Structure 1
Amino acid sequence: MKALRMTRYGDIESSLEFQSANMPSPKVDEILVRVYAASVNPVDNMVLRGDLKAMRKESFPAGVGRDVSGEVVAVGKGVTHFREGDQVFARVGEEHVGTVAEFIAVHASHVAPKPQNLSHQEAAGIPLVGLTSYQSLVQVAGLKQGDKVLIHAGSGGIGSMAIQLAKSFGAYVVTTTSTANVGWVKALGADLVIDYKKQNYQDLLSDMDVVFDTLGGHYTLDAFKVIKTGGRVVSISGDLDPQTTEELGLGWLIRKLLALKSRKLMKAAEAKSALYRMVIMKANGKQLQELGNLYQDKIITPVIDKTYAFEQSKEALSYLAAGRAKGKVIISMEEPATA
């Protein structure tokens, strides 16, 4: 089969190439999926650059892509809830990264039935951003009806999903975006859209229940300036908190160094009697099915910016890296691959 592979750490043009790869064979509790569509995410470019080497070192050649939608073509031993011909979607586990390929093996617990009213291209854009938003806002922040939540970068892949998810829980949603995207983001359901080119959100907000930090840097620490006492700051780009480093099983010395790095954040959280957590999303088929139900019921709608052919996968990653995507960037197989 054909697959896009990383040959080394570096840039898109010099470190990625299409290669012939062995057809995966589903192991116990795994299924084999014929890929009809995949999506790319900022983490794919981060891994390529080597930004995450401290947490996970790649063995080359390495696969690219974590989101997939396709058809089950084989099941391994122990799999009882999926069968050949099922239409499914998934955020694959890190051990199975490589969805920008003709076929992919996936652990069955990471897979959910594809919403029937969505195309494979639409479904492929859901898993990573959906699970990240769900685990951040619902699982960690405990978002509930009436909560006031600030979601940074509302026009991005995660932001556009998080806005809709938060609204489905009855939250009052505030988001930031550029001038050109204000109306577009408002149409997603945001109650208040702040144009960061014209306004400083810190001048407008206070007593927020939840801040969902998708940007990192100073935005993480600044979140504590706008939350109320006892509020919750959840980040996907900030420093790792002590609880998360322990859950990751990192060594004592690394945890100590990371604790020093996050000291300002933890002090800011303590001063507000607030929660601070850095969320690292985990593949979860049951949660993905819950999200799929929201799409099936049209409570949330897919947001796709551009779709590229499989052969244009490098262009898709380059477009995403430019930071101007409104919603998701999809890679579509023009014709189903043959075994």
Structure 2
Amino acid sequence: MKALKMIQYGDIETSLNFQQEDKPEPAAHEVLIKVHAASVNPIDNKILRGDFKAFSKVNFPAGIGRDVSGEVVAVGHAVAGFKKGDQVFSRVGEEHVGTVAEFVTVDADHLAKKPENLSHQDAAGIPLVGLTSYQALIKIAKLKEGDKILIHAGSGGIGSMAIQLAKSYGAYVITTTSTENVQWVKALGADQVIDYKKENYLDMLSGIDVVFDTLGGQYTLDAFKVIKDGGRVVSITGELDPQTAKEMGLNWLIRKLLGFKSRAITKAAKQKAALYRMVLMKADGLQLGALSQLYQDEIINPVMDRTYSFEQSKEAFAYLATGRAKGKVVISMQTESAN
């Protein structure tokens, strides 16, 4: 089969190559999926650049891509609940990374039935951003009806999903975006949209229940300026908190160094008696199934930017790297060109 592989750390053009390899066989608790579509995510480009090699080095050549939608073509002998011919989607576990390929094996526990009303291209854009938002807002921040939530970068893949998810739980949603995207994110359901090119959200907001930090850096620290006492700040790009570092299995020395690095955030959280957590999304088929139902019921809708063919995979990663995508960027095994 043909698969896109990372062959070294570096730029997209020189570090990604198509290679031929044997089609994988599913283990006892796995299924084999014929890939119809895969989506690309910022984490893929970050790993390719080598941003995380201090924590986890890649053994080259290595697969790339964590989201997939396709058809089950074989199941392991211990798999229950899925059969050949099922239309499914998944955010695969780290041991199965490599969805930009003709076939991929997936742990059955990380799998869910694809929403029947969505194409494989639409479904492929859901798992990573959906599970990240679900785990951040529902599982960690405990978002509830009436909460005021600030979601940064509302036009991105994560932001566009998080806005809809938060609205489905009855929250009052505030988001930031650029001038050209203001009306677009309003249409997603945002109650208040702040144009960061013209307005400073720090001058406009206070008493926020939850901040979903998708930008990191100073934005993480500034979140504590707008939340209420006892509020919750959940980040996908900020500094690691002690609990998350422990869950990652990092040794005590690295945790101590990370604690020193995050001391400003720890201090800011303490002053507000606030929760701060960094979210490291985990593949979860049950949670993905819950999200699938929200799409099936059209409570949440997919937000697509561009679709590329398998042969245009490098172009898909390059476009995502520009930071201009509104919604998801998908690679399809069934299309000829970007649209």
TM-score normalised by L of structure 1: 0.98
Residue in 1 aligned with 2:329?
329
Q: Could you tell me how far apart the structure 1 residues matched to 2:141 and 2:233 are?
A: 8
Q: CA deviation at 1:54?
A: 2.0
The 2-side partners of 1:204 and 1:216 are apart by: 20
Q: Hey, what's the Cα distance between the residues in 2 that align with 1:84 and 1:216? A: 42
Given residue 103 of structure 2, which amino acid in structure 1 is its aligned partner?
A: F
**d(CA) in 2 for partners of 1:111 and 1:54?**
30
SS at match of 1:273: coil
Q: CA deviation at 1:118?
A: 0.2
Residue equivalent to 1:169? 169
Equivalent position SS for 1:90: strand
* Counterpart position of 1:111: 111
Q: In 1, Cα distance between the equivalents of 2:309 and 2:142?
A: 39
**Using the alignment, how far apart are the partners of 1:207 and 1:55 within structure 2?**
36
Map 1:1-339; keep pairs closer than 5 Å. Answer: 1-334=1-334
SS at match of 1:44: helix
Offset, 1:56: 1.5
Q: Counterpart of 1:255 in structure 2: which amino acid?
A: R
| 1:301 Cα deviation from its structure 2 partner | 0.2
Deviation for aligned residue 1:55: 2.3
Q: Please state how far the C-alpha of 1:192 moved relative to its aligned partner.
A: 0.1
AA aligned opposite 2:183: G
Deviation at 1:251, TM superposition (A): 0.6
> One-letter code of the match for 2:233?
V
- Using the TM superposition, give the Cα deviation of residue 306 of structure 1 relative to its aligned residue in structure 2, in angstroms: 0.2
Matched residues in 2 for 1:9 and 1:136: separation?
A: 29
Query: Post-superposition shift, 1:77?
Result: 1.9
Residue deviations 1:253-294 (CA, integer Å, cap 9, x gap): 100000000111011000000000000000000000000000
Paired AA for residue 135 in structure 1: Q
Q: Secondary structure at the match of 2:34?
A: strand
Amino acid corresponding to residue 71 of structure 2 in structure 1: E
Letter of the structure 2 residue corresponding to residue 102 of structure 1: E
Distance 1:62 1:15 in 2: 11
Q: Read off the aligned partner of 1:298 and give its amino acid letter.
A: E
TM-score by length of 2: 0.98
Question: Aligned residue pairs: how many?
Answer: 335
SS in 2 for 1:28: coil
Structure 1 CA distance, aligned partners of 2:240 and 2:260? 10
SS of aligned partner of 1:254: helix
1:31 match: secondary structure? strand
TM superposition shift of 1:205: 0.3
Separation in 2, partners of 1:207, 1:82: 46
d(CA) in 2 for partners of 1:125, 1:56: 25
CA distance in 2, matches of 1:143, 1:260: 29
SS at match of 2:24: coil
> In 1, distance between residues paired with 2:55 and 2:278?
14
Cα distance in 2 between the residues matched to 1:140 and 1:310: 36
Q: Distance in 2 between matches of 1:116 and 1:192?
A: 32
In the alignment, structure 2 segments of 5+ residues that lack a partner are: none
Alpha-carbon separation, structure 2, partners of 1:42 and 1:141: 23
Identity, % of aligned positions? 73
Q: Which amino acid aligns with 1:229?
A: D
Q: In the aligned structure 1, how far is the partner of 2:306 from the partner of 2:315?
A: 11
Q: Note the aligned Cα RMSD (angstroms).
A: 0.6
CA distance in 2, matches of 1:270, 1:28: 47
2: distance between equivalents of 1:201 and 1:54? 34
Structure 1 spans left out of the alignment, 5+ residues: none
The 3-state SS of whatever aligns with 1:266 is helix
2: CA distance, partners of 1:231 / 1:54 = 32
- Deviation for aligned residue 1:80: 1.1
